[in-house]
A and B are shown apart, each in its own frame.
Chain A
Amino acid sequence: MSTVSLTVNGKPVSADVESRTLLVDFLRETLGLTGTHVGCDTSQCGACVVHVDGTSIKSCAMLAAEVAGSAVTTVEGLASNGTLHPIQEAFREHHGLQCGYCTPGMMMSGVDLIAQNADPDEQEIREWLEGNLCRCTGYHNIVAAIKSAAATMGGAS
């Protein structure tokens, strides 16, 4: 057991965790932030993607203890003051989700892509999503949603 202090979705958090506790379990079980999902046990599906200090990571592949002092953002922290993030708007507008299970990871991953590449083309988006599985949409509308979100966020030429 050790005490971990960090910022989650802009709020300071401090909790005792076992050293083996995964970040995803810490978020879901300790903090009750169940928007971050678990879809596999081999770090392949990306349903658990969150941001640590602004960079997308798979929270099933990181220990809670590793993020001490960091700023973590989950899907619950995407909207601000009741206003949806452009990627949330884009996923709804472009029907980028069906069952909604992979969606948080897809959106968190997409936001990081746009941060790194303000105007990604279709192929860049598809390759970036290499670590995110979706079984419902065939990715068609997810790719379209991320492209659209990038444009809204000002990157598109």
Chain B
Amino acid sequence: MNDTGIGAALRRKEDARFITGRGRFTDDINRPGQAYAFIVRSPEAHAELGAIDTTDAESAPGVVAVFTGADLAADEVGGLPCGWQIHSKNGTPMVEPPHPALAQGRVRHVGDPVALVVAETKAEARAAAGLVDVDYRPLPPAANLVQARADGAPLVWDDAAGNLCYDWELGDAAATDAAFEGADHVVTLELTNSRLIPNAIEPRAAIGEYDPSADMHTLYTTSQNPHVIRLLMGAFVLGIPEHKLRVVSPDVGGGFGSKIFHYAEEVLMTWAAKKVGRPVKWTAERSESFMSDAHGRDHVTTAALALDAEGAFLGLRVKTDANLGAYLSTFGPAVPTYLYATLFAGCYTTPAIYANVKGVFTNTVPVDAYRGAGRPEAVFVLERLVDKAAKMLGMDRVEIRRKNFIQPDQFPYQTPVALEYDVGDYEGTLDTALELADWGGFPGRREEAASRGKLRGIGLSTFVEACGLAPSAVAGALGARAGLFEVGQVRVHPTGSVTVFTGTHSHGQGHETTFAQIVSDRLGVSADQVEVVHGDTGSVPFGMGTYGSRSLAVGGSAIYNAVEKVIEKGTKIAAHLMEASPEDVTFENGSFSVVGTDKSVALGDVALTAYVPHNYPEGLEPGLEETAFYDPKNFTFPAGAHVVEVEIDPETGVVELVNVCAADDVGTIVNPMIVEGQMHGGLAQGIGQALLEECIYDDEGQLVTGSYMNYTMPRAADLPYFKTGHNITACTHNPLGAKGVGEVGSIGVPPAVINAVVDALSDYGVDHMNMPATSERVWRIINGAGG
């Protein structure tokens, strides 16, 4: 143990550059001779593409070139691939339409890229884009789930009848039917899970560059997983082998899922750079981000919970229509299926579960993973149902949960929906949250608020999520088209300092510090002697990137295993130096020792010997550098209990958050300061969904919430200080015991907020309201004007 090891609230190594303005984001990079790109985007939700006249644009000042979908087709550029194939319940594969980087034949959502203008300056590219004359022949759109599923709805894709991509199921339908038949009570709920726009504050950007002397392509891009982009774009879109394509994701200003996916602009910049013989740079304007970054959530669901007379859960049935947008984004089809319905056991012993999910095409931006990705949707269904059941049965909301919890002695616990939870202590976590929130003191606070004319409510949610994507073979069996392991490479330099290469990517998570702490802890070197390198396929061997709270559990474990290999090799060198048998050598606090003697040799001396191998074990390779590919044995299962207390002003409907408490079991905590920060951020995004944010398309498929002027982002004054707590059970199947913390807030808190709002409105006959609980909606409920 040392003061920069696991458990230390070390201040972040990466902060030095960010607080001095020396971060290096993609738009901060300029390449010699660079031209600028602007993308012409469809103003129509759905239209046949007639002629595209680029003549005026091509002759505009500063224009280098103008390209359309026809140019991509002529060069046989492939479409953007989808990384996950879902099969319908009848065994047929999902409908998988083409996804060209520039529209060909039809445009299918507002913002669909139509033409690419390359010019000497950004202003010239933008001005010339206005001169591209596109003949749009509007078609009726399927602008939302209801429109898309209606009889006779316009088809987004001609071969997707009913706009269905797939009709998928999970669980045992017959057993679930039987559970409902034998039930004393059935609680039903119809709900929506609102559509969200991720809104990382750094807009996406990309720079393509081609070096003809080496026949080498380089793409700088705002990506959470540069190796995945290299693989997808190289192999499936542009036909560039990996050794001729370098993808660099430098500092990235937040992702939240939206920067996982392979986007058209990455293809366009890489392709155009070779076409025009110059580096080409594109940076999204925020209004472009709104209509081109993949969106999140967007479900319409009917759910029912069957209970016995004492409130034990007997069965759960869920039917969901999930909006996939106009095209399949990289992981889009997996989010409302395997990342959603597999969570329906929650932390409860419900024995029979059946879920049916229809993936639906609409004339909207593609929908894909956004912080939580499927799991917030599942937890919202469950925790709203449980609250409604408690009310119906006249049971206490805490007690009904306790009664149905999976108990600590039941692990490993096989759920009816495919997952096997390894470990947990849901009751302990709940107790931690109730204490943080002073749950018992609420009646007094409600009374006091009432004396001021305010409606006070309290709500909770208890939940499990699945992280640590993923055991590759399991994911493959479920339709993943990639492995989901992670790579860590540990290079001990001759003088004992260390460089770590990780295939995960840090865009706010603090990996440069956390991963250094893992190495520090095990190797006994100070964290400031450990440099963590990420985000460049030119230096990191391979990687699957950062999403689904996987970086510590999977990427950290890979680093841990690489460190173990370093120690194993170091032990052989040390044994040779001390003229002992390797079996008798132990390693602790940076020093190799011979058991039962006072002989020891420091890691630095072993490292130097490895690079100056004059007195060296026979047959052992010089050098001290090891790589580990870590493929997890199971998913990890972070769990939590969140309690929210609100006060509503009945005159205005404004919901004030008076207390937000989150107790989470995220597994081993490496850096408690960073873990708390991750919890805060997730809570803010979950609260944003619950109270403020909603992406709205009108019936014509126009994006109404297309800027920060009308998409309500949480601001500082919308949020309180958060209270956080922990009740840790270490993951049993990875070497760190880590589970994941990135998403607990956004998964757990939305139903806690809505449960609190519904509780506050209990005198108004309300048993459910959809998100966001805006002041207008709350006011309408209070005034009987319809929610």
Q: A37-B253, A130-B716, A133-B715 are in contact. Are A42 and B21 (CB under 8 A)?
A: no
The residue from B28, B200, B509, B677 contacting A34, defined by CB atoms under 8 A apart: B28
Chain B residues whose C-beta falls within 8 Å of the C-beta of A45 in the assembled complex? 201, 286, 708
Instruction: Indicate whether A114 reaches chain B with its CB closer than 8 angstroms.
Output: no
Find out whether the CB atom of B19 lies under 8 angstroms from the CB atom of A107: yes
Known: A130-B717, A139-B719. A99 touches B22 (CB 8 A): no
A101 to B199, CA, bound (A): 12
Say if the beta carbon of B12 comes within 8 Å of chain A: yes
Establish whether residues B674 and A95, one from each chain, have CB atoms under 8 Å apart when the complex forms: yes
Is the Cβ of A93 less than 8 Å from the Cβ of B11? yes
Q: Are A134 and B201 in contact (CB under 8 A)?
A: yes
| Residue B27 is within 8 A (CB to CB) of chain A in the complex | yes
Contact with B along A134-157 (1 / 0, CB 8 A): 111111111100000000000000
Q: How close is A31's CB to chain B, nearest CB, in angstroms?
A: 12
**Known contacts being A88-B19, A98-B509, A129-B717, is A135 close to B680, with CB within 8 Å?**
no
Query: Would you call A62 an interface residue if the criterion is a C-beta within 8 Å of the partner chain's C-beta atoms?
Result: no
Cβ contacts A22-41/B at 8 Å (1 or 0 each): 00000010000111111111
Q: Which of B510, B682, B708 contacts A133 (CB 8 A)?
A: B708
Q: Inside 8 A of A76's CB, which chain B residues have their CB?
A: 20-22
B166 at the interface (CB under 8 A from A): no
Shortest C-beta distance, B121 to chain A (Å), equals 9
Q: Can you report 22 A-B residue pairs in the complex whose CB atoms are below 8 A from each other?
A: A35-B20, A35-B22, A37-B201, A37-B202, A39-B253, A41-B285, A44-B709, A75-B19, A75-B20, A92-B11, A95-B12, A100-B23, A101-B25, A101-B201, A129-B717, A134-B201, A137-B680, A138-B682, A138-B685, A139-B714, A139-B716, A143-B721
A38 to B256 Cα, complex, angstroms:
19
- Chain A residues, Cβ within 8 Å of B226: none
A107 to B707: give the CA distance in the assembly, Å: 24
Q: A37 — which chain B residues lie within 8 A by C-beta?
A: 25, 201-202, 253
Tally chain A residues at the interface, Cβ within 8 Å: 54
Q: Which residue of A lies closest to B256 (CB)?
A: A135
Residues of A within 8 A of B14 (CB): 100
B673 within 8 A of A: yes
Identify the B interface with A (CB < 8 A). Answer: 11-12, 14-25, 27-28, 123, 199-203, 251-254, 256, 283, 285-287, 507-510, 673-674, 676-677, 680-685, 707-709, 713-717, 719, 721-722, 745
In whole Å, how far is B720's beta carbon from the nearest beta carbon of chain A?
A: 9
| B716 proximity list for chain A (CB < 8 A) | 125-127, 129-130, 132, 134, 139, 142-143
Complex contact B680–A140 (CB within 8 A): yes
Task: From A38, A123, A130, A142, name the one whose CB has the most chain B CB atoms within 10 angstroms.
Answer: A38
Q: Contact between A41 and B681 (Cβ–Cβ < 8 Å)?
A: no
Q: Which residues of B contact A103 (CB under 8 A)?
A: 18-19
B371 to chain A, nearest CB (A): 10
Q: Which residue of A lies closest to B9 (CB)?
A: A95
Binding site secondary structure of chain A: loop
Q: Please give the distance in Å from A39's CB to the nearest CB on chain B.
A: 4
The answer to the question of A79 belonging to the interface, with a C-beta cut-off of 8 Å to chain B, is: yes
Is A36 in contact with B21, judged by CB distance below 8 angstroms?
A: yes
User: Across the interface, do B674 and A99 meet the contact criterion of CB distance under 8 Å?
Assistant: no
Extra inter-chain contacts (18) besides given A38-B27, A133-B713, CB under 8 Å:
A35-B22, A39-B286, A44-B708, A84-B20, A92-B16, A93-B11, A95-B12, A95-B674, A98-B508, A99-B507, A100-B15, A100-B18, A130-B715, A135-B200, A135-B713, A140-B721, A141-B677, A143-B721
Considering the complex, give the chain A residue whose CB is closest to the CB of B684.
A138
The CA-CA distance from A42 to B710 in the complex, in Å, is: 11
Contacts of B20 in A (CB 8 A): 35, 75-76, 78-79, 84, 88
Say yes or no: B251 contacts A100, CB within 8 Å.
yes
B286 closest partner in A (C-beta): A40
Closest chain A CB from B759 CB (angstroms): 23
Residues of A within 8 A of B684 (CB): 135, 137-139
The verdict on A98 contacting B21 (CB below 8 Å), with A133-B708, A137-B684, A138-B722 known, is no
Contact of A40 among B253, B683, B707 (CB under 8 A): B707
**What's the Cα separation between A98 and B713 when bound, in Å?**
18
Bound Cα distance from A141 to B15, whole angstroms:
14
B293 to chain A, nearest CB (A): 12
Contact with B along A96-133 (1 / 0, CB 8 A): 01111111100100000000000000110111011011
Most buried by A among B12, B199, B677, B745: B677
Nearest-Cβ distance from residue B288 to partner chain A, whole angstroms: 9
